[in-house]
Amino acid sequence: MSEAVRVLVGRADLARRVRELGRAITEDYAGRQPVLLSVLKGGVWFLADLVRAIDLPLEVHFLAISRYGDAEESQGRVQILLDVDVDIAGRDVLLVEDIVDTGLTCRYLLSVLAARDPASLEVCTLLDKAARRIVPLVPRYVGFQCPDRFVIGYGLDDRERYRNLPDLLQVEDLASLRAAAEPLEAPPARA
Ligand code: IMP
C-alpha cells in the first residue's frame, strides 16, 4: 500500500462496530419505527451496513446538500439540494453521518430538521473528530473516535475518490496521495 496512507480502522473492526451500533439502536428504539436520514454521499456506505444490523421496522430517506466553501467558511450553512420526501413530524428521526468534524454541517441540519417537530432527533456518526469541534455537539451514537487527520475510504472521499475502499485509511501525506499516478488499491483484508 502507498506510504501516503495507513489503515485507521480495518474492515473487520468496521463490521464488528457497526453490528454493535445496530444492536444498541435496536434496543433503544424497540417498539418504534425510526426514520433514518442519511446525507449523500459519504454517509451512504455506513447507512447501508447499519440498517442491516438493526432489527426493527424502519424507513430510510436521503438528503443531498452542497456547501458554500468548506464548513468553517460557510459556518455550516448548506444548500439543501434534495430534501427528505416524508413528513417527519412526530417521528423518531436518526441522522446518520459519516463523520462529525467541526459539527457545523450537522448542527445546521439538526436545526432544519428540529423545526419540523420530530418526536425525537438524534445523531449516529461513524466517526467523531471531537478535537476539531467548533460547536458543541455530542452525537448519541459514535462508531469510533477519529484523530485530527484526513480520512478516506468506506464512503469518505478526497475529491470524490476512494469512497469504494473497504477500510478506513488515515492520510499521512495528502500531496503525495494526490500526485500518485497509480490508483490506491484496496489493501488486503486484515483479520
Ligand atoms: P463538519 O466540519 O462537521 O461540518 O463536517 C463537514 C463534512 O466534511 C463531513 O460530513 C465530511 O463530508 C467532510 N469531512 C470532514 N472530515 C473529513 C475527512 O477526514 N475525510 C473526508 N471528509 C471529511
Q: What is the pLDDT of residues 25-65, one digit of tens each?
A: 999 999 999 999 999 999 999 999 999 999 999 999 999 99
Among 144, 155, 161, which Cα is nearest to 40's?
155
Portion of the chain with pLDDT greater than 90, in percent: 84
What atom of ligand 1 comes closest to residue 133's alpha carbon? 3
Per-residue confidence band for 190, with pLDDT thresholds at 50, 70 and 90: low
Distance (Å) from CA 127 to ligand 1 centroid:
10
CB 90, CB 109: distance < 8 Å:
no
* Separation between Cα atoms, residue 68 and residue 38, nearest integer Å: 20
51 contact partners, CB below 8 Å, separation of at least 6 = 22, 36, 58, 60
Using alpha carbons only, give the angle 61, 46, 62 rounded to the nearest 5 degrees: 15
20 within some domain: yes
Domain hosting residue 80, numbered range: 11-148
Using CA atoms, how far residue 52 sits from 20, 38, 146, in Å, is: 12, 15, 24
Least confident of 115-129, 134-148, 168-182: 168-182
Task: Give the model confidence (pLDDT) of 74-125 as tens digits.
Answer: 666 788 999 998 999 999 999 999 999 999 999 999 999 999 999 999 999 9
* Separation between Cα atoms, residue 162 and residue 155, nearest integer Å: 8
Q: Which CATH number goes with the domain that contains 67?
A: 3.40.50.2020
Nearest CA to ligand 1 atom 8: 101
Q: What's the average model confidence in pLDDT over 140-160?
A: 97
Q: Omega into 129 within 30° of 0, i.e. cis?
A: no
Quick one: cell of 84?
Answer: 427528505
Distance (Å) from CA 42 to ligand 1 centroid:
9
CA distance between the termini of the chain: 17
53 within some domain: yes
pLDDT of residue 39: 94
Distance (Å) from CA 149 to ligand 1 centroid:
11
Distance (Å) from CA 180 to ligand 1 centroid:
23
Question: How many domains is the chain built from?
Answer: 1
pLDDT of residue 188: 59
Ligand 1 pocket mutation pick from 99, 134, 138 by most atoms within 8 angstroms of CB? 99
CB 41, CB 66: distance < 8 Å:
no
Active site residue 101: yes
Enumerate residues lining ligand 1, CB below 6 A: 42, 71, 76, 98-106, 150-151, 156
156 within some domain: no
165 within some domain: no
* Separation between Cα atoms, residue 174 and residue 4, nearest integer Å: 7
